[in-house]
Structure 1
Amino acid sequence: MYGADVAQLRDTAAELRRSAERLTSSRTELSATLAASPWSGPDAERFRGEWQGALSRILQDAGARLAAAADALERNAADQEATSAAGGGATAGAGTASGPYGGSPDHPPAGASAQDVTRWWDSLTPAQQRELLAEHPDRLGTLDGIPAAVRDQANRAWLTHELDRLAAEEPPRTIPNTSGWGVPYGGTVSNPAWDAWHQQVATLQNVQHMLDADRSLSLLLLDTRSGPVEVALAVGDVDTADHVGVYTQGLFSNTANADGVRDAAASVTALNATARDLLLRDGRPGESSAMIMWMGYDAPQNVVDVLSDAQAKTGADRLASFADGIRATNPGTHLTGLGHSYGSLVTGLAASETTAFDSVAVFGSPGIDADGLAAVHVDDGQFYVLQNPGDPVAASGWFGTKPSDLPGAQVLSTAPSAGLSGATGPSGWLPVVGMVSPIGGLVMAGDYALGQHTDYLVEKSTSQNNLAAVVVGARDRMIR
């Protein structure tokens, strides 16, 4: 026999599809069980949060991968039949009827990298691309390797679809109390399903408001598949920009928080304006920049979770893939990862998983990982650190050595300089002497320490200037 056993391919595909359906069914049943469960208390709420975040997504992603693998096997079976019918033998790398890079007009091949996705998309005809954009915007909007302009169109369409769907699916705010705890038996308690629904609606409304208020923004990610909605907003043309920065936040970053989304978007917009100004002052008016506010992971929402790197590791996987997608669609860009606080850990870990980043800048960072710069895939001299003098998180070194102490790290100033504002140390007293956690100092030092930890992106500050200089590679404009 030459080639593949068609019957065996189809049998295996059917088994994979049944397994995918079982995973999907189990995920749905578990979600319903948890929503109706009388289990209450801090442990219950914590587990429900974990389920709605990472755990549910793991099952969903596994089911999707199994289904994609089944599709691939069925396509291989069809290709083998076509080849045999034509009288030819099986030829490695011959491709499929849908294009030279595999997959189908509906989706790329199973396990495709971001570069594979870009090649697959480019292999489709314009008509196939238009049809996929119209029929499956949710699929394109979350697919790393699709051009940013296409993702923006897809995610805007999906945003409208999801707002309409959720408006018609509001669950009851309360459900009967069957546990006997908290209120008399037979009363009602808050419905976790409504809380999750409301969080999704709030996020989508926040995003819609931002897009309506600022027409320069584009929507590069809108993932509503499970748990907190994941979002990425960009200013500038990510597909063509000579310089792109990806900004990741940390503790309390939450897409359902209107202020959090608005403030972060405003920060990247102002940062991009500063980057463009630096290009002009540097004699490079022909170069362009773009900036992305990436909220593509389930960030810690309490002072317990922020002490663990578990959510950072999950976020790093997604950030690395997102960066690979930018690199695949804009291979010549200078790409910088920008991470604040816990987001610096996410960025540092992501930079150890991909070679897509040219530079990394961390600020207010509790550490990037135990291996330090040895694991970060950027060239020598391209890892930058900013640390305010009274920032207790940056002083903690909770996740390994303080980044400012790492050999080879380029430490940039945050102090006032040349007409720029900046953070200064306390006069006559030290708010934080010893640190036992990356959040303990905030409690000890109050508003002063909080400001020292959060003001790195203040407009017209030294730190904002330095971060913009890193993004556009303006070494002479960096203040040390």
Structure 2
Amino acid sequence: MRRFRRTLVAAALATTMVGGTAGWASGTSQRAVTGPPVGSAAWRADDSLGRALPDPASATPEEVARFFATLTPGQGQRLVRRHPLVVGNLDGAPIALRYEANSRAVRAQHDPRYARLAEPGRQILAFDPRGRGQAAEVYGDLASARHVSVVVPGADIDAATFDREKDPYGTPAGMAGALRAATDGRTAVIAWAGYTTPVGIGLDVATGDLAEAGAGRLARFTQGLTAAGVGEPALFCHSYGAVVCGLAASEVNATDIVVLGAPGMRAAHRADLHTDARVWAAKDPSDWISKVPHVEIAGLGHGQDPTAPSFGARRVPADLAEGHTGYFVPGTDSLRAFAAIAQGRITQRDITRAVTAPDDTALEDITQGEGR
């Protein structure tokens, strides 16, 4: 009977969303940006090195890394100058070259939306001006950091809202900055707004289409980090970003997958993700996401609540977080737990110790147990 009632609720939800919001949602419907970066045709036609360049559409990150390893510094710089949008978004390319290429690409846009991304000193690891714009920024030093994390945001995020001043901890830049600060700068954190996110609360956010496109981009991005010599990251996936991470779980290179404020992961159980990464879930008592039925029917909804005991994820405490975007606010138990996860492959017991330890206790003293 309970299952029957849940099915009726799901059907009512689907009917309400389609009937009540279809007209509005169609106005905010997003087309996913996919495929090779802008300028790929000119890149493929470039014979200035006397040999073919790796095809951005088909070369693996490992193949890209091997190609760049054969170049002299001067040849790499030449490619940056000639093809900044390609080099800057080519997973597997050297990190330093990507920073330089994206700095050039952002400045060349002359678009006020990207003015903050163009500020000196920012380490932009990816920048795609197509659609609403996509970007990824590094906080810290990827080359020397022992541990790396990637923040995957949810709806209403693009290159223009990447680090907005309003509601900063609901942005990838704000979340990444807070996470790195919580580890006392001992980690590197990447704010990754590298997929087309839903806008508003409409059909896009209720379906998995944009998440499926984003999952492929996220998987390739993490594979590119590995190919470039960066260690496997921990993923922190907020809201609709949790759907992206759920669909990408079997392909991403990651030590941990942490979801927060998740509508679901398109899976009924942790085992359905087919990943060796640790899976963690957080949801604070005041998060409105709790009011969303955790079901999937006719393509609408994202399945089981990852914080439900039956899902099988490790639970991250979040009693001090407030609302849907409060998980990375300094002083919260959730942020302290995230910082502990970001610093190593640790146990549930270590998370409890991190959350309950005095504020002046160094997290490195409690992040023990490097095995999975």
TM-score, shorter chain, exceeding 0.5: yes
Number of the residue aligned with 1:158: 105
> CA RMSD of the aligned region, Å?
3.1
Distance 1:309 1:110 in 2: 23
Number of the residue aligned with 2:181: 273
Number of the residue aligned with 1:360: 257
Structure 2 counterpart SS, 1:337: strand
Cα displacement string for residues 151-194 of structure 1 (whole angstroms, at most 9, x for unaligned residues):
1111001111111xxxxxxxxxxxxxxxxxxxxxxxxxxxxxxx
Identify if the C-alpha distance between structure 1 residues 472 and 158 changes in structure 2 by more than 3 Å, giving closer, same or farther.
Answer: same
Distance 1:373 1:359 in 2: 12
Identify if the C-alpha distance between structure 1 residues 317 and 394 changes in structure 2 by more than 3 Å, giving closer, same or farther.
Answer: farther
> Which of 124, 148, 173 is the aligned partner of 1:219?
124
Q: 1:259: Cα distance to partner?
A: 5.6
The correspondence of residues 71-470 of structure 1 with structure 2, limited to 5 A, is 104=52, 106-108=53-55, 111-163=58-110, 201-208=111-118, 211-212=119-120, 215=121, 217-224=122-129, 226-257=130-161, 260=164, 263=168, 264=171, 265-276=173-184, 288-304=186-202, 305-331=204-230, 333-354=231-252, 356-379=253-276, 382-394=278-290, 396=292, 397=294, 398-405=301-308, 406-415=310-319, 422-423=320-321, 451-470=322-341
Identify if the C-alpha distance between structure 1 residues 402 and 393 changes in structure 2 by more than 3 Å, giving closer, same or farther.
Answer: same
Cα displacement string for residues 286-341 of structure 1 (whole angstroms, at most 9, x for unaligned residues):
xx41011111111111211211111111111111111111111125x241111011
Distance 1:45 1:395 in 2: 20
Normalising by structure 2, we get a TM-score of 0.75
Identify if the C-alpha distance between structure 1 residues 48 and 273 changes in structure 2 by more than 3 Å, giving closer, same or farther.
Answer: closer
Structure 2 counterpart SS, 1:207: coil
Distance 2:62 2:234 in 1: 19
Q: 1:250: Cα distance to partner?
A: 0.9
For 1:227, the aligned partner's letter is G
Cα displacement string for residues 231-289 of structure 1 (whole angstroms, at most 9, x for unaligned residues):
11110112332111111111222332376378232331121121237xxxxxxxxxx41
Identify if the C-alpha distance between structure 1 residues 349 and 394 changes in structure 2 by more than 3 Å, giving closer, same or farther.
Answer: farther
Q: 1:477: Cα distance to partner?
A: 4.2
Distance 2:144 2:39 in 1: 31
Structure 1 counterpart SS, 2:189: strand
Distance 2:266 2:100 in 1: 36
* Equivalent residues of 1:386, 1:463 under 8 A apart: yes
Structure 2: runs of 5 or more not aligned: 1-21, 295-300, 356-372
- Corresponding residue pairs, total: 316
Structure 1 counterpart SS, 2:115: helix
Distance 1:156 1:312 in 2: 28
Identify if the C-alpha distance between structure 1 residues 261 and 152 changes in structure 2 by more than 3 Å, giving closer, same or farther.
Answer: farther
* Equivalent residues of 1:359, 1:378 under 8 A apart: no
* Equivalent residues of 1:253, 1:260 under 8 A apart: no
Distance 1:328 1:267 in 2: 25
* Equivalent residues of 1:242, 1:289 under 8 A apart: yes
* Equivalent residues of 1:255, 1:261 under 8 A apart: no
Between structures 1 and 2, the one with greater helix share: 1
Structure 1 counterpart SS, 2:225: helix
Cα displacement string for residues 82-103 of structure 1 (whole angstroms, at most 9, x for unaligned residues):
xxxxxxxxxxxxxxx96xxxx6
Q: 1:62: Cα distance to partner?
A: 10
Larger radius of gyration: 1
Structure 2 counterpart SS, 1:260: coil
* Equivalent residues of 2:151, 2:236 under 8 A apart: yes
Distance 1:295 1:375 in 2: 25
Structure 1: runs of 5 or more not aligned: 1-41, 76-96, 164-200, 278-287, 416-421, 424-450
Identify if the C-alpha distance between structure 1 residues 49 and 366 changes in structure 2 by more than 3 Å, giving closer, same or farther.
Answer: closer
Identify if the C-alpha distance between structure 1 residues 154 and 375 changes in structure 2 by more than 3 Å, giving closer, same or farther.
Answer: farther
Identify if the C-alpha distance between structure 1 residues 258 and 275 changes in structure 2 by more than 3 Å, giving closer, same or farther.
Answer: closer
* Equivalent residues of 2:234, 2:258 under 8 A apart: yes
* Equivalent residues of 2:151, 2:175 under 8 A apart: no
* Equivalent residues of 1:370, 1:400 under 8 A apart: yes
Structure 2 counterpart SS, 1:453: coil
For 1:470, the aligned partner's letter is I
Distance 1:109 1:249 in 2: 25
